[in-house]
Structure 1
Amino acid sequence: MSNGNRGQVISAAGHSAPMAGAPLSTIVPQDEFLHPVADGAHYASTETSYFGFNIPDKQLNGEIYVWFHPALRVMSASVYIWRGIKRSTLACEYVNHFHFLPFPENGIADYTIAPLGLHIRVIEPLRQIELTCKDPERDVSFRLLQTAIMPPAGRPGGNHFTQAMKVEGEVTLHGETFAVDGYFSRDRSWSNERHEVSRNVPPISWMVGIFGDDLAFHVLAYDDPALGPEWAGMFPSPPPGGNLIWGYVWRDGATLPVRRAAVLTRREADGLAPRLKEMEIEDAGGKIHRIRGTIDARMPWQTWQNMNVYFCQTRWELDGRIGWGDTQDIQYNEFVRRFARF
């Protein structure tokens, strides 16, 4: 999840930094692990690791998120598992979140977060990771092997990557066991400051989809004001084409930056929850991709008190193919205050 760096790529006016279409950064094996903290680093210095799984035919989704605060020597961590549409985070089948946990002083190559019963082991950096979790009191557990289907795509400017993974294993949820055999896009960030301020910006969407070992995409963007989103004219708007922050298309063994994204979100009657994503993206090779995403499972998570994110299992359609992945619709106070219709 790009949460760890979103605040660093959005200007005070809400416009994206000039990364759209720029060359992707180089990622090295060391980026799988914790990075040195500069002397005098700000308390908001952040690293994040984000993993998950989905089982589309069960409308079941899982999110595993670890947020490191190296200057403070603490971390936050969470596991969320849910089925279908939820109106509240606590309505999820499983929620286990801790804001304040001891920092992993021995690194993150092979470590356990005891309060979560979560163990994460890097088998091969940038290629394969094993995650296990056991909560016997609540009869919840999982065992997941995540194997890369593509090289990590480094965000322009560095300090961040997103990577499509094949995910295999099983999940036990309150006595019912499910096989996992699908895909998920993981996310990692480091050496940036994540400030928990409230921003006067419209929603921004972090979207990933995987159609098979040969095809995946990632887009981080606002809706395009030219397409008439509900907030048009009520927030500072980016210049034409400036709604895209960054993204990539992985196709037939090549990773190309996205240089343009015309995105439009359709929302539920409550004015907030996303139900449909429509977009046209253009990669750096000039190829146009028209993508439609239907939300199958959804839950709101107040990542911090000044921000709410709708996590959404999304069914993507592209060139006659069906894929699956996350939509994360990030909303701040001003948007919710103006558009909520409960």
Structure 2
Amino acid sequence: MSQHLIFTAEDDFYHKLSDDPYETETNWWSFNIPERKMGGWIHNQYYPNRKTCTWRVFVWDDRGMSPTDLAYYRKVDEAPMSGDPDLTDISFPGGGYSLKMLEPGMKYQLGYSDPARGFAMDFVHTGVHRPHRFEPGEPPFMQTPHFDQLGHVEGTLRLHGETIAIDGVGVRDRTWGPRGGPYQKSRKKHPADAQRVKHPGGPLWRQIERERGRGRIEYIYGHSEDFQTGFLGFVRMQDADASGWAPMNTGWLLKDGVFQPLDKTRSRMLNFRDPVGGWNSHMLVDLADTTGRTMEAEGISLSRLRDGGMYQLMRWEFDGKVGWGEDQDVWIGAGHFPRMLDALRGAR
């Protein structure tokens, strides 16, 4: 890891970055319970110059996929944040979750309770490595600071009167930079859809999926429960070839407990979509890092949430091991996913 890209204890606090009303600072935490096909998120966006935050807590399994029929879902928009909030020990307003730093950059306790729904969670995220910024200049974070940190998540979930153990793989992230407003309208413009595709050809649904200037983001990760093997990275669907193989960048390969950056010239993903729902049902991933190590991974979708994109619990196999993680399949343009799905479902 390059020393100048490693985050410090100061990054556990909130920052004063600019006077932009769309300035945003996030914290995100994920966990999964594979034997129940459950995935879970805790997420907050703080707008320091508006003194508000938007937070979400949700858990999904294979019995529902929209916010109205998930195992649990709650979102509070633009809750007022008073005073000078301290991210190292905070309870977010509007009945939000609590977050407490136990060890700078490495260990955190999170808690949340919704008595009216009989729902609660309490867990500790312990980092497997120091938080480390991805090299700037690579999409989707060209300039805005961002890191992902693999962690061991241990605790409990209270759901429908049952206490369920949490003990496994989780990832957290932090991002700084403007969101929403004029930034949502800054995507590239093209005179015609035909000019949006870098490599024409192949199935129509794949061609629609890789249209450029749509704001598509694909993010996948999977790690073994011994934290010795796995990967994480962003997929450049806009640069996929006609057969569907899309290059990966901005991520890591983990082998024998050692992290190395992905080699973006040799790392790629091929997805296969469910012909009815349109989610990624199956994936093949070829990985290589900057030291020459390689790995092949195969992923299968077990459960999912549809909320401005498709977020899925994935079961992975790599290097003779089973791992767990997510596929975050984000479609920003309102009409982009429906057009792809129409082509996927087409009978004529």
Q: 2:230 aligns with which of 208, 216, 233?
A: 216
Q: 1:180 aligns with which of 166, 180, 201?
A: 166
By relative contact order (CA 8 Å, sep 6+), the higher-ranking structure is 1
Give the structure 1 partner of residue 60 of structure 2: 82
Distance 2:243 2:10 in 1: 43
Give the structure 2 partner of residue 335 of structure 1: 336
What do you get for the CA RMSD once the two structures are aligned? 2.4
Give the structure 2 partner of residue 10 of structure 1: none
CA shift, 1:208, in A, is 1.5
Residue identity in the other structure for 1:50:
W
Distance 1:168 1:209 in 2: 17
Q: 1:226 aligns with which of 238, 241, 255?
A: 241
CA shift, 1:203, in A, is 3.9
Q: Secondary structure at the match of 1:115?
A: coil
The alpha-carbon distance between structure 1 residues 271 and 55, as it changes in their structure 2 partners (threshold 3 A), is closer
CA shift, 1:152, in A, is 1.7
Does residue 55 of the first structure (1) align with residue 69 of the second (2)?
no
Contact kept? 1:220, 1:245, Cα under 8 Å: yes
CA shift, 1:210, in A, is 1.5
Q: Secondary structure at the match of 2:275?
A: coil
What TM-score, normalized by structure 2, do the two folds share? 0.80
Give the structure 2 partner of residue 237 of structure 1: none
The alpha-carbon distance between structure 1 residues 58 and 337, as it changes in their structure 2 partners (threshold 3 A), is closer
Does residue 246 of the first structure (1) align with residue 250 of the second (2)?
yes
Q: 2:97 aligns with which of 108, 115, 118?
A: 118
CA offset digits 1:201-250 (Å, max 9, x no partner): 37431112121222232111123622623xx9xxxxxxxx8x43411123
Q: Secondary structure at the match of 2:116?
A: coil
Contact kept? 2:6, 2:130, Cα under 8 Å: no
How many positions carry a matched residue from both structures?
A: 303
Contact kept? 1:153, 1:248, Cα under 8 Å: no
Give the structure 2 partner of residue 168 of structure 1: 154
Does residue 322 of the first structure (1) align with residue 322 of the second (2)?
yes
Distance 1:32 1:221 in 2: 28
Deviating more after overlay: 217-226 vs 310-319: 217-226
Does residue 102 of the first structure (1) align with residue 102 of the second (2)?
no
Distance 1:177 1:225 in 2: 43
Contact kept? 2:80, 2:93, Cα under 8 Å: no
Contact kept? 1:77, 1:97, Cα under 8 Å: yes
Distance 1:285 1:268 in 2: 35
Does residue 280 of the first structure (1) align with residue 294 of the second (2)?
no
Percent identical among aligned pairs is 25
Give the structure 2 partner of residue 296 of structure 1: 302
Structure ranking higher in strand proportion: 1
What TM-score, normalized by structure 1, do the two folds share? 0.81
Contact kept? 2:271, 2:282, Cα under 8 Å: yes
Gaps of 5+ in 2: 137-143, 188-212
The alpha-carbon distance between structure 1 residues 32 and 208, as it changes in their structure 2 partners (threshold 3 A), is farther
Contact kept? 1:24, 1:153, Cα under 8 Å: no
Q: Secondary structure at the match of 2:130?
A: coil
Contact kept? 1:246, 1:257, Cα under 8 Å: yes
Gaps of 5+ in 1: 1-21, 233-240, 302-307
Distance 2:3 2:275 in 1: 40
Distance 1:192 1:155 in 2: 18
Contact kept? 1:86, 1:300, Cα under 8 Å: no
Contact kept? 2:133, 2:146, Cα under 8 Å: yes
Residue identity in the other structure for 1:201:
R
Give the structure 2 partner of residue 72 of structure 1: 50
Q: Secondary structure at the match of 1:116?
A: coil
Distance 1:23 1:286 in 2: 22
CA shift, 1:147, in A, is 0.6
Contact kept? 2:304, 2:313, Cα under 8 Å: yes
CA shift, 1:257, in A, is 1.0
Q: Secondary structure at the match of 1:208?
A: strand
Contact kept? 1:120, 1:130, Cα under 8 Å: yes
The alpha-carbon distance between structure 1 residues 310 and 198, as it changes in their structure 2 partners (threshold 3 A), is farther
Distance 1:76 1:208 in 2: 25
